Amino acid sequence: MAADDQKEINLVTGATGLLGSHIAEQLRKRGRAVRALVRPGSDIQFLSSIGVDLMTGDMTDRTSLDRACRGAATVYHSAAKVGDWGPWEAFQKITIEGTDHLVKAAVAAKVKRFIHISSISAYGHVDGKGLVLDETAPLGQSLYRWAYYSRSKVEAERLVWETHKAGKLKATVIRPSWLYGERDRTTMGRLIASIRSGKIKLLGKGDNRLSLSHAANVAEACILAADSDKAVGEAYNCSNDGDITQKQYFDLIAKTLNQPPIQKSVPYPVARFAAFCLECVGHLFKLTKPPLVTRYSAWLMGRHSFFENRKIREHLGWSPTIPYEEGIPAAVRHYLDEHQTISRRQPAAPKP
């Protein structure tokens, strides 16, 4: 371990989440000191096991952010209100106001580099056969009324750029795509359950290319950006690990589960319309549980637009180290192993 690595602290927000945990893991593999901001009651077992310095705090608490940034050389900001459902106030408070708090804390602490994790959904829910988008595309296009996650990502990124352009912060923005990997608590479980029950359907023919990335590959891109002066003031799509279609993704999960390939399908426009109707019902009755499908989730799976990452490959020499053929089965097995472990920990139901 280099002396500089021992001294310089890397602060990771959202470190108990999918991407944040992989950023912390990749930093520790490189022998670098990592500090994680964690909320009270968070599952910190993995972070503790890899030697991360844990600091209790919250994106809504400026005092805790000031404390976390103190002495940090680099900030990796991956914390956000994640998901395609919930009240706007939650996205505003955590993603937008939380980012504003963190940026101000980072400026006050005079951190050297700020890596902001945005999303390709910040471009908007653009779609169209043959449409390929790079970093020159405008943000916030074709956003529907309840696209709270995407809207908050656009606004948070704007705050970062304003501070950077004012000369107060050396920032880089990473825009990941649909993420998967170990410690995914959102989509993999739902996909596994749908495949096992036989309820999953392809949206359209299933031949559309997915913008899909393993979280570890994106974490490596974040570290490359933090280490490069060339990346200051730049935005990078980190949006795919190669070519994979919707059907290939689902079939690889199914194969790992010893299930047959996915054959059922529903037209993509029908799925989008059904999602809109379900969203209307959900908002009308103020349901806290998300609908079976939302327009955002349908867009993730069924869109024909594609986000390329040529810029980060050429600028920083990034290339994914975990291919789909290796990463997808490993992510499925990790989820199953973890789920079985949790089930074994649950106390047995009392006998009547």
Kindly state whether residue 333 falls inside one of the protein's structural domains: no
pTM of the model as a whole: 0.93
Kindly state whether residue 169 falls inside one of the protein's structural domains: yes
Domain containing 95: what range?
3-186+211-242+306-323
The residues, any chain, with a CB within 8 Å of residue 206's CB and separated by 6 or more, are: 245, 246, 247, 250, 262, 265
- Rounded Cα distance between 254 and 33, Å, is 39
Kindly state whether residue 130 falls inside one of the protein's structural domains: yes
Closest CA to 82 of 191, 159, 163, 156: 156
- Rounded Cα distance between 49 and 144, Å, is 42
pLDDT digits (tens, 9 = 90+) for 99-122: 999 999 999 999 999 999 999 999
339 pLDDT exceeds 90? Answer: no
Percent share of the chain, pLDDT over 70: 95
Kindly state whether residue 178 falls inside one of the protein's structural domains: yes
352 pLDDT exceeds 60? Answer: no
CB atoms closer than 10 angstroms to residue 63: 11
- Please give the backbone phi and psi of residue 149, each rounded to the nearest 5 degrees, phi first: -60, -50
Question: How do beta strands 132-133 and 306-307 pair?
Answer: parallel
Kindly list the distances between the CA atom of residue 168 and the CA atoms of 62, 77, 111, 112, in Å, as whole numbers in the listed order.
18, 17, 10, 10
Kindly state whether residue 118 falls inside one of the protein's structural domains: yes
> What is the CATH classification number for the domain harbouring 30?
3.40.50.720
Q: How confident is the model at residue 341 (pLDDT cuts 50, 70, 90)?
A: low
How many domains, the chain?
Answer: 1
Write down the pLDDT at residue 345. Answer: 47
Kindly state whether residue 106 falls inside one of the protein's structural domains: yes
60 pLDDT exceeds 80? Answer: yes
Containing 133, the helix (H) or strand (E) segment is strand 132-133
Token digits of residue 318: 């990034």
- Rounded Cα distance between 173 and 288, Å, is 31
6 pLDDT exceeds 60? Answer: no
Write down the pLDDT at residue 185. Answer: 85
Kindly state whether residue 336 falls inside one of the protein's structural domains: no
Give mean pLDDT, residues 318-326: 97
| SS3 (DSSP) at 306 | strand
Token digits of residue 28: 């520790």
Q: How confident is the model at residue 349 (pLDDT cuts 50, 70, 90)?
A: very low
Token digits of residue 219: 């974490």
Kindly state whether residue 201 falls inside one of the protein's structural domains: no
